[in-house]
Amino acid sequence: MPTVSLPHPARGLRRGRPDSQAIERALVRSSVDALAAGRATCRHCHRSPLVGEVVHVYGTGGRRGDEIVCELCRPLHAAEPERSVLVRSPEQAGSVRRT
């Protein structure tokens, strides 16, 4: 049987060390995705509203629930919002005020 010489016979079989930058990018990407999963975003521009910003809530009446629209995208809606809400910091959401 004739033999064929390959220029780099072990190239496909070689196990390289994992690239540390690739691992770092994958970890950062997964943590950013996990943080973004629980965050409310604007329906139009998909921007996360800032703390202290007023957002407008429109009820859709469907399965999707309420739509949040930021102050910048508010002119895109002709109808009045159901309510307008001030965005609070995550620390304030579970705090208890002393009376």
Identity of the residue numbered 25: R
Query: Per residue in 22-68, pLDDT tens?
Result: 889 988 988 887 777 767 888 889 888 888 889 999 887 666 678 88
Q: Which two tokens stand for residue 21?
A: 């930058």
Is the pLDDT confidence value at 9 over 60?
no
Residue 34 and residue 24: Cα distance in Å, rounded?
Answer: 15
Is the pLDDT confidence value at 69 over 80?
yes
Mean pLDDT across the chain = 76
In the structure, what pLDDT confidence band is assigned to residue 78 with cuts at 50, 70 and 90?
confident
Determine how β-strand 66-69 pairs with β-strand 54-59.
Answer: antiparallel
Identify the pLDDT of residue 5.
57
Identify the pLDDT of residue 3.
60
Is the pLDDT confidence value at 16 over 70?
no
